[in-house]
C-alpha cells in the first residue's frame, strides 16, 4: 500500500507558475496524493478579510471546491485564474487527487520554505521566470533561494518564451 504524498506547487497564477503546475500534474501527481498549491501574497495592511486571521501562520488548507468560488477567494484577497482552476479540476477528477490551496503573506522565498516545513510537503515544484543574470542579481531569484533552503526535494520548471 502506497502512502499518500503531499506535493507542493508554488503558484502566483502567472504563465510560469501555470507551467510548473501542469508539469507537476503530468509528471509527479498520482492517485491518492494531496496536491497543495502554495500562494504567497505581499504583506500589506489588509483591513478586512481572512488574511487578518491567518497572516502569521498562513491560511488553513482550502479545498478545491472553496477556492473555485470567487466569493470565498475574495475574503483571502486571491483571484485564481480560469486556466489554473481548469488544470487542477481536471487533475482532481482524472488522477483522483485532492487539491488544496495554502496562502501565506510575506516574502515569497521565506514563505515557500516555511510552507515546506509547516504543511509539511514531501516535495515542492516551482516555476522559474527566466530572469537574466543581471535582473536575477538585483531582484533575487525565488527559485534559487528555495532550492538552497527548502528541507525537501525541489523541482524548478523553467519558463521558455519560444514555446
Average pLDDT over every residue of 15-35: 96
Is residue 53's pLDDT more than 70? no
Kindly write down the DSSP assignment for every residue of 17-35, as one continuous string: HHHHHHHHHHHT--TT-EE
Question: What DSSP state is assigned to residue 48?
Answer: S
Which run of H or of E encompasses 94?
helix 82-95
Pick 66 or 131 by higher pLDDT: 66
Q: How far from 8 is each of 111, 113, 119, 143, 152, CA to CA, in Å?
A: 13, 11, 9, 14, 10
**CA distances (Å), origin 85, targets 13, 72, 161:** 10, 14, 23
Mean pLDDT of the 51-64 span = 80
Compute the average pLDDT of residues 31-53: 79
Q: Does the pLDDT at position 46 exceed 60?
A: no
State the average pLDDT for the chain: 87
- Residue 32 confidence (pLDDT) above 90: yes
To the nearest whole percent, how much of the chain has pLDDT over 70? 82
pTM of the model: 0.88
Q: Which three cell numbers mark 88?
A: 487542477
pLDDT given for residue 77 in this prediction: 82
Residue 163 pLDDT greater than 50, yes or no: no
Higher pLDDT among residues 28 and 160, named by residue: 28
- Specify whether the CB–CB gap between 57 and 115 falls below 8 A: no
More confident residue, 44 or 135: 44
Residue 44 above 90 pLDDT?
A: no
Q: Which domains are assigned to the chain? A: 6-158 (3.40.50.620)
Over range 48-54, report the average pLDDT. Answer: 60
Amino acid at each position: 500500500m502506497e502512502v499518500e504524498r503531499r506535493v507542493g506547487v508554488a503558484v502566483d497564477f502567472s504563465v510560469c507558475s501555470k507551467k510548473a503546475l501542469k508539469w507537476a500534474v503530468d509528471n509527479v501527481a498520482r492517485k491518492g496524493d494531496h496536491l497543495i498549491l502554495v500562494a504567497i501574497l505581499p504583506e500589506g495592511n489588509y483591513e478586512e478579510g481572512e488574511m487578518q486571521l491567518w497572516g502569521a501562520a498562513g491560511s488553513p488548507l482550502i479545498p478545491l471546491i472553496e477556492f473555485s468560488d470567487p466569493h470565498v477567494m475574495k475574503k483571502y484577497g486571491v483571484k485564481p485564474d480560469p486556466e489554473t482552476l481548469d488544470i487542477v479540476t481536471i487533475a482532481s477528477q482524472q488522477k483522483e487527487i485532492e487539491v488544496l490551496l495554502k496562502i501565506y503573506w510575506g516574502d515569497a522565498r521565506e514563505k515557500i520554505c516555511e510552507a515546506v516545513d509547516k504543511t509539511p510537503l514531501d516535495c515542492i515544484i516551482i516555476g522559474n521566470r527566466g530572469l537574466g543574470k543581471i535582473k536575477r542579481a538585483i531582484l533575487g531569484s525565488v527559485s534559487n533561494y528555495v532550492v538552497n533552503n527548502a528541507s525537501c526535494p525541489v523541482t524548478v520548471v523553467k519558463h521558455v518564451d519560444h514555446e
